[in-house]
Structure 1
Amino acid sequence: MMGFLMDHLIVLPIVLPMAVGAFMLLLGERRTWFKASLNGLSTLAMLAIAIALLRQADNGVPVSVAVYLPANWQAPFGIALAADRLSALMLLITSVLGLASLMFSVARWQRAGVHFHSLFQFQLMGLNGAFLTADLFNLFVFFEVLLAASYGLLLHGSGPDRVKAGLHYIAINLTGSMLFLIGVSIIYGITGSLNMADVALRIGQVAATDRSLLEVGAAILGVAFLIKGGAWPMNFWLPPSYAAASPPVAAVFSMMTKVGIYVLLRLSLLLFGDNAGDSAGFGHDWLLYTGLVTLGFGGIGMLAAQNLGRVAGYSVIISSGTLLASIGFGRVGVTGSALFYLLSSTLALGAFFLLMELVERSRTFSSDLLAITREAFGLDLPTDNDDNDHTNVGVAIPAAMAFLGLSFIACTLLLTGMPPLSGFIAKFSLLTDVLNPTGLTPDSSVEITMTAWVMLALLIGTGLTGVIALTRTGIRVFWAPSGRAVPRLRVIETFPIAALLVLCVIITLRAEPVMRYMDATAAALHAPDDYIRSVLSARQLTESATQAPSKVTLEARP
């Protein structure tokens, strides 16, 4: 049995949530705890599978790509799944965030609407499939699966704010899906293939008369994923949608924006690498400039935001802008540092979205209004707890508020890139690679481009605006005690937040091996020949070799 599971390990992150989600649709809504148990076991199993795939991908050879042929048809004629270092990393982050969000939702949010657990599993299925698929058509299929599930999850809990944000979210994502289909259709019409490895080989052989149309199709496809990735100016939907979603859903949504980043990173280096002929490097400049503008827009929006939900939404935009600009530089070192930043920022954003709901419990309209009035008019208004005759010294801090305060500080440090946590290491490494592109010695000279200086200014500037915005919010929440009630926190709510933050601390302490993995991942992405060869050379298994309907072939090439 164990051997069978290992042989079909790559397809399990897709099949498992699909089967569990479908089964839970057959159960009544009164069996909530049974559904929660099934959901938890399935997500925990996906975490174990992701760890196994990551260990398999990082097996000590420069490139290790596992290829799975579900229908036992050789690529590019049949469906192919491929798991390399990048896919395994994205699966791991998805499973960790999914498990933390699910645990948090069990406290109350699972009962706010119907079919929460089924939609949650279908959401994970779509995410996992998008990271594992090796062809553009199935990328579209999994893209639609995760979007369909996200529509229901965003509306989970109802309310006018969620309905309004949900309608905007659905409209913009349907537009993105339409652009996706148009772009894929053009690429298929020019190259005659949808397998990503096969398309990468054929792009260099496209006739000069067809190359412009091919690039138009690639640009349209890129726009679809820029919308999903939260790039300016197509990210107006993101802050209100993420602010309106329930906290566990918003935490998972922070991973959804990374689907767009993942596809842009994968396709830009696979399809438009050195083997793409005259199309080599196509779109890199657009990604760079779009990322820089997105980064600046996110910083301004974060400074202008007046509530935690929108602050978190603009933090997602800052994360996306940083990653898009890093992809645009097209350098191995920058890509490796960007992957480290992706890991740190995604976990921190997940913790922050979960933390928001607990923080809001201690806030009332009157306390917020009083805090804003004091700030605007410089008033020192008395409160019910004030003593006009003497000043209170040494106010006791309840354990709940202490946890919320410390967690809020940790999220602030991580999201703004302040020392000493992993966010600072990620930004420092990123800036080092941007300003020192070839790893030169101190006595060497290199011309630093204007875009590198702009990147430096924006990373520092957005960090500063983030500190200002989050500090201002923290003061209003924790230092304006008028009308504030100490919230009641449950262990099942605090544990996932603490776990995500502890993971960020572990990443900080183990930064060297983590960065080594990211650098190896970046090196493989920038040299995709082994990925292409592994996918296209995966062989069918004969009926005598196995009676299973699905076959697996592993390729590890130095």
Structure 2
Amino acid sequence: MSLTSSLNQAMAPLMPHLMLAPILLPLLTAALMLLMREDRQRFKLIVNMGSTLLGLGVSLALLGWADQQGAASTMDVYLAGNWPAPYGIVLALDRLSAMMLVLASTIALASSVFAAARWHRAGVHFHPLFQLQLMGLCGAFLTADLFNLFVFFEIMLAASYGLLLHGSGRARVQSGLHFIAINLAASSLFLIGASMLYGITGTLNMADLAQSIPMIVEADRGLLHAAAGILATAFLIKAAIWPLNFWLVPAYSAATAPVGALFALMTKVGIYVILRLWLLLFGMDAGPSAQFGSLWLIVGGMVTMVFGAIGMLGSQRIGYLAGYGAILSSGSLLAAAGFGQPLLTAGLLYYLPSSTLAISALFLLADLMDRWRNDGASQAPFADDEAPFLTAELVPAVGLNLDQDEEVLTGQVIPAAVALLGLAFMACTLVITGLPPLSGFVGKFAMLTALLNPFGLGQPGAQPAGAAGWMLVALLIGTGLLALIALTRAGILHFWATYDRALPQLRVLEGLPIAFLLGACLLLTLQAGPVMRYMQATADALHAPGLYVRAVMSARPIPGPQAPRIDPAKEAP
């Protein structure tokens, strides 16, 4: 403990400046790679993976700094232009934003390694677009005002347009056009909602908005709610709420595997912004506007859960199952967030990274399983023997030389590639459906416990479950069962049914990212106690918006050097 405290004290002067690294590092990396010729793919690959790995290290350092023991709310505020809030650009780091940074960096690292096996050469400018996408994600998690949130959203979306079309093909172009159209509409709604809020309150700083909303005159409150509703629609499109999620499954399943895995995180950007803004602007301290929109979140989330579960039940392609799984996860998070209870918020915060990691792994698995089902046919623009320099073959186990009678009794050893695919698919199924013993079960169990016993820890503002709470309990269990049926059926088709096909040929760079993502789910399970305490502290801080407001509004610029004072008497001739 003393060593940790000493290390934190030694790094304290550097930590505020380190908040810039998740934004500047991918920006500078993308700029460097744009200056290189397109045929230098090997060097770009190394730079991309190295930068992403360094970003993960920075995110973990920020996570450790944000989780200072004994602090109810650990906030770091960085005034980028050295202007006080609400006049200048403000970055804010707390437990929630630090957690999202680590999640984004983890998935980005796995996606970049998987892309190294084949997909990064399917088109031009993959690596710069990948880093710009990462920059937009990290900026959205760190910014503390709506204007810069819009800027980072647009950076993220502009990069995603290119990444979705990476690899070309009719399906990607068609889905890409739909994706671009719906996101342009969401950006327009974002601008309209933010403009209306600025016209009513005179500010776009999130903390300043939280101070202004309780003091809005009653005549303007209806206009305020309309502006918030328009703004929320833009975020709910990104969060894949029904019926605004028709674009997600075709787009995400048409994208290349590493891009689909990274896109699984983009739905959680909408969840993050809704959690941040709704609890900050319309929490219990918002006066007459307190809890505005909670019913819409609950009902919309529940309908989205049903839609996602039915979509999974009606799908057989692994990519479609992953896409509908992302919708089901988002619906569960939105419905739970709408109750506005700290215990339930802590449960959904635990479930958020678990489900996102598993869905990202499933998108990567979809490419390998589809390639195996098609007898090794690849959608990549080059043959398997032209793999990049970092690849190596996983050596499949050789079957035993048994007579036919002995084979009936003992069978054959499962090849290593098939065992890897099967175990990974089983782990994804357990996490997504919320079955024990992995982290998906812990997250769902925490949410169910909070719904059935909201007074367990004497949390302020806890309410009995009621009809909506019981309905969410039924949906968490029922949709998990439907997802289990769908994924089990797909597993039987791919692993149990007999096909006359060759064994899957997997590369190390294709197996390691999947193992890395599922290993993170296992780590969340093994460290469930400390992680749940972290999530509870995060939820408590979110439900006490005054802590965030005071931290941002009290941040003061660093005084500049003062000019030496000149004595006029001494300067006189």
TM-score (norm 1): 0.91
Gaps of 5+ in 1: 368-387, 546-558
- Partner in structure 1 of residue 532 of structure 2: 515
Task: Say which is worse superposed, 395-404 or 108-117, in terms of deviation.
Answer: 395-404
Which of these residues, 50, 57, 75, is aligned with residue 66 of structure 2? Answer: 57
Superposed CA deviations along residues 357-376 of structure 1, whole A, max 9, x for unmatched, are: 11112103899xxxxxxxxx
Aligned AA (1:430):
M
Distance in 2, Cα, partners of 1:427 & 1:134? 30
% identical equivalent positions: 58
SS of equivalent to 1:293: helix
Change (3 A) 1:420 1:211: same
- Partner in structure 1 of residue 298 of structure 2: 288
- CA offset at residue 280 of structure 1? 0.7
Equivalent residues in 2 for 1:93-132, closer than 5 Å? 93-132=103-142
Equivalent residues in 2 for 1:308-457, closer than 5 Å? 308-364=318-374, 392-393=408-409, 394-439=411-456, 447-457=464-474
- Partner in structure 2 of residue 548 of structure 1: none
Distance in 2, Cα, partners of 1:359 & 1:229? 27
- Partner in structure 2 of residue 67 of structure 1: 77
Displaced runs of 4 or more, over 2 A: 1-7, 364-367, 388-393, 445-448
1:487 maps to 2:497: no
Distance in 2, Cα, partners of 1:213 & 1:234? 23
1:536 maps to 2:553: yes
- CA offset at residue 499 of structure 1? 1.3
Distance in 2, Cα, partners of 1:138 & 1:301? 35
Q: Are the equivalent residues in 2 in contact too, given 1:363–1:485 (CA < 8 A)?
A: no
- Partner in structure 2 of residue 136 of structure 1: 146
- CA offset at residue 505 of structure 1? 1.1
Q: Are the equivalent residues in 2 in contact too, given 1:36–1:106 (CA < 8 A)?
A: yes
Of the two structures, which has the highest relative contact order with CA contacts closer than 8 Å and spacing of 6 or more? Answer: 1
Q: Are the equivalent residues in 1 in contact too, given 2:239–2:269 (CA < 8 A)?
A: yes
Change (3 A) 1:434 1:344: same
Which of these residues, 134, 150, 168, is aligned with residue 178 of structure 2? Answer: 168
SS of equivalent to 1:67: strand
- Partner in structure 1 of residue 268 of structure 2: 258
1:185 maps to 2:185: no
Distance in 2, Cα, partners of 1:390 & 1:539? 79
- Partner in structure 2 of residue 248 of structure 1: 258
Change (3 A) 1:59 1:3: closer
Q: Are the equivalent residues in 1 in contact too, given 2:376–2:505 (CA < 8 A)?
A: no
Aligned residues: 524
Distance in 2, Cα, partners of 1:317 & 1:43? 27
Aligned AA (1:459):
L
Which of these residues, 37, 41, 44, is aligned with residue 35 of structure 1? Answer: 44
Aligned AA (2:54):
A
Distance in 1, Cα, partners of 2:159 & 2:13? 30
Q: Are the equivalent residues in 2 in contact too, given 1:417–1:427 (CA < 8 A)?
A: yes
1:22 maps to 2:26: no
Aligned AA (1:541):
I
Distance in 2, Cα, partners of 1:6 & 1:390? 65
Distance in 2, Cα, partners of 1:176 & 1:446? 34
Q: Are the equivalent residues in 2 in contact too, given 1:18–1:122 (CA < 8 A)?
A: yes
- CA offset at residue 186 of structure 1? 0.4
Superposed CA deviations along residues 445-496 of structure 1, whole A, max 9, x for unmatched, are: 9853111111111111111111111111111111223232211111111011
Q: Are the equivalent residues in 2 in contact too, given 1:251–1:351 (CA < 8 A)?
A: yes
Distance in 2, Cα, partners of 1:355 & 1:90? 23
Give the root-mean-square deviation of aligned CA atoms. Answer: 2.2
Which of these residues, 513, 518, 523, is aligned with residue 501 of structure 1? Answer: 518
1:298 maps to 2:308: yes
- Partner in structure 2 of residue 48 of structure 1: 57
Distance in 2, Cα, partners of 1:261 & 1:401? 35
Q: Are the equivalent residues in 2 in contact too, given 1:201–1:275 (CA < 8 A)?
A: no
- Partner in structure 1 of residue 20 of structure 2: 11
TM-score (norm 2): 0.89
Change (3 A) 1:189 1:397: same
Aligned AA (1:538):
A
SS of equivalent to 1:81: strand
Change (3 A) 1:13 1:438: same
Q: Are the equivalent residues in 1 in contact too, given 2:438–2:525 (CA < 8 A)?
A: yes
Change (3 A) 1:119 1:197: same
Q: Are the equivalent residues in 2 in contact too, given 1:65–1:84 (CA < 8 A)?
A: yes
- CA offset at residue 7 of structure 1? 4.3
Change (3 A) 1:115 1:399: same
